[in-house]
Amino acid sequence: MSQEVTDADFKQQVLEADGPVLVDFWAPWCGPCRMVSPIVDEIAQEHAGKLKVVKLNTDDNMQTAAQYGITSIPALYVFDKGEVAKTIIGARPKPALEKELADYIG
Amino acid sequence: MTDKQLVIIGSGPAGYTAAIYAARAGLVPLVIAGSVTAGGDLMTTTEVENFPGFPEGVQGPELMESMRAQAERFGAEVLYDDVETLHIEPRRHRITTALGAEYTATAVILATGSAYRELGLAEEKNLSGRGVSWCATCDGFFFKDQEIAVVGGGDSAVEEATFLTRFAKKVSLIHRRGELRASKAMRQRAEADPKLEFVLDSEVTAIHGADKLEGLTIASTADGQTRELPVTGLFVAIGSDPRTALFAGQLDLRPDGYLVVEGRSSRTSAEGVFGAGDVIDPVYRQAITAAGSGCVAATDAEHYLSELSDSELNTKEK
């Protein structure tokens, strides 16, 4: 299971991180989020060291979700140097996600 | 390459019911459930009130979880992967998956369901996840105290609209016709909902917004008159089309795209290939009818496999 981040430590864990960070915006009530979550964990494990992967529960951390205009989940955002570098909306199979993230895990 | 007697593609009520029956018949079916779509459409619904046996209703994901557990209990194997190719070849159908697995199957049940229809408007894709959504249960929460719209007039549109009034300040339900197609129970609930406004005889002709959805242009289907509707959310529920890309060109399809089956059976135009659920059903499209057709497909597949093994035995004896 990847690390959980919150409104309180989002800046430190994500925006101020050294390398790119993939944030999985999810919520407990969202079926597709539950499906994509283990795939994100696998990608995190297989590419540990290249791409930091964290999860943000939008139910408990509405401030961050609102700040980035999240209106559909699952939403996977890559942050690089504090900026949004890539957005992937909706659940995708693993090969499709790996393709989308090729710049960061290739 | 792994040889299987029976592979079931899809894991909605049709796929899992076929798996329960086939597993109980000792066929040890492999269910290729989908990596992110396992459980099918009911995974994104909330309360299912009309599935028999649940007088208090049941949550869609919970129902699908139970069906999966029931299939596994009798020996079905569930694989969370996506079928990439299917080559139909009597007695030795070949299947490859996105993660690189390869199977041959003597019989195949296709329970691939249907895919949501899009409006086909410019900006629809750009604003996907920026206000345009296909999953009310996933995304409704983000529209707390906002004004939003739902397009469609069937059961799923009306159910979504009613669900969304829990969060939104106001929900406009936009439908092309003067009357909703949804069932009476759904309509009555919607009509009694003070936060729901009906925008009938109307269609969405444009979606506006750069980074996020800001509004819609609505045209009257009666006189073509247009007006602007400022909304921050748009939920599209205008029906779905059968998912047949895997086997289009290899099996007979109806002119409207549905997989052809013979009479009340599940037999498709190819030997040893059976269809079940929404992919063969342009009319009823309910969880219970899909489940019923999954049972039909498993029974047909079982007959096919036992006749095949009988005739192979006879050939060997001669």
Condensed to tens digits (0 to 9), the pLDDT of residues B218-261 reads: 999 999 999 999 999 999 999 899 999 999 999 999 999 999 99
Span B71-99, average pLDDT: 97
Judging contacts by C-beta atoms under 8 Å, the chain A residues touching residue B212 are 69, 71
Provide, rounded to the nearest whole percent, the portion of chain B with pLDDT above 90: 89
Contact state of A92 with B36 under an 8 Å Cβ cutoff: yes
Tokens describing residue B105? 């199957």
CA distance B192 to A15: 47
Instruction: Kindly report the nearest CA distance between residue A88 and chain B, in angstroms.
Output: 9
Instruction: Kindly report the nearest CA distance between residue B233 and chain A, in angstroms.
Output: 8
* pTM of the full structure: 0.89
Q: Is the peptide bond before A28 cis (omega within 30 degrees of 0)?
A: no
Contact state of B43 with A59 under an 8 Å Cβ cutoff: no
Q: How many helices (H) and strands (E) does chain A have?
A: 5, 5
Delineate the domains of chain B, giving CATH numbers in brackets. Answer: 2-116+240-317 (3.50.50.60), 122-236 (3.50.50.60)
CA distance B67 to B12: 9
Judging contacts by C-beta atoms under 8 Å, the chain B residues touching residue A58 are 141-142
pLDDT tens digit at each of 106 positions of chain A = 689 999 999 999 999 999 999 999 999 888 899 899 999 999 999 998 899 999 999 999 999 999 999 999 999 999 999 999 999 999 999 999 999 999 999 8
Place of tokens 């046996």: B53
Contact state of A72 with B99 under an 8 Å Cβ cutoff: no
Domain ranges, ordered by start, for chain A:
3-101
CA torsion B236-B242-B245-B248 (nearest 10°) is -150
Q: Does position B141 have pLDDT exceeding 80, yes or no?
A: yes
Tokens describing residue B21? 């029956």
Q: Does position B299 have pLDDT exceeding 60, yes or no?
A: yes
* Domain covering A3-101: architecture: 3-Layer(aba) Sandwich (3.40)
Contact state of A95 with B39 under an 8 Å Cβ cutoff: no
Residue type, A81: K
**A16 a catalytic residue:** no
**A69 a catalytic residue:** no
Nearest CA in chain A to B126: A89
Residue type, B71: A
φ and ψ of B28, to 5 deg: 45, 60
Contact state of B141 with A72 under an 8 Å Cβ cutoff: no
Span B254-280, average pLDDT: 97
| CB contact at 8 A, B235 and B207 | no
pLDDT of residue B312: 80
pLDDT of residue B165: 97
Judging contacts by C-beta atoms under 8 Å, the chain B residues touching residue A70 are 129, 142
Judging contacts by C-beta atoms under 8 Å, the chain B residues touching residue A27 are 138, 141
Nearest CA in chain B to A72: B129
Tokens describing residue B317? 């004896």
CA distance B172 to B230: 11
Tokens describing residue B84? 């990439």
Q: Does position B25 have pLDDT exceeding 70, yes or no?
A: yes
CA distance B38 to A38: 13
| Active site amino acids of B | 135, 138-139
Q: Does position B318 have pLDDT exceeding 90, yes or no?
A: no
Q: Does position B87 have pLDDT exceeding 90, yes or no?
A: yes
φ and ψ of B90, to 5 deg: -45, 130
Size of interface A-B (CB pairs under 8 A): 77
User: Which residues make Cβ contacts (< 8 Å) with residue B105, sequence separation at least 6?
Assistant: B3, B4, B5, B6, B7, B30, B92, B93, B95
β-sheet bridge partners, residue B79: B32
Contact state of B137 with A59 under an 8 Å Cβ cutoff: no
Q: Which of A26, A72, A73, A99 to substitute to test the interface with B, most B CBs within 10 Å?
A: A72
Mean confidence (pLDDT) of chain A: 94
User: Which residues make Cβ contacts (< 8 Å) with residue A95, sequence separation at least 6?
Assistant: B98, B99
Q: Does position B311 have pLDDT exceeding 90, yes or no?
A: no
Contact state of A30 with B128 under an 8 Å Cβ cutoff: no
Nearest CA in chain A to B130: A71
Instruction: Kindly report the nearest CA distance between residue A102 and chain B, in angstroms.
Output: 17
pLDDT of residue B316: 66
Contact state of A30 with B38 under an 8 Å Cβ cutoff: no
Tokens describing residue A40? 């994100």
Mean confidence (pLDDT) of chain B: 95
Active-site residue, from A21, A22, A33, A97 = A33
pLDDT of residue B46: 78
Tokens describing residue A59? 């139910």
- pLDDT, tens digit (0-9, with 9 covering 90-100), for B165-195: 999 999 999 999 999 999 999 999 999 999 9
Nearest CA in chain A to B233: A71
Residue B245 to residues B60, B178, B281, Cα–Cα distance (Å)? 26, 34, 16
Cα angle, residue B213 at apex, residues A77 and A30 outer, rounded to 5°: 50
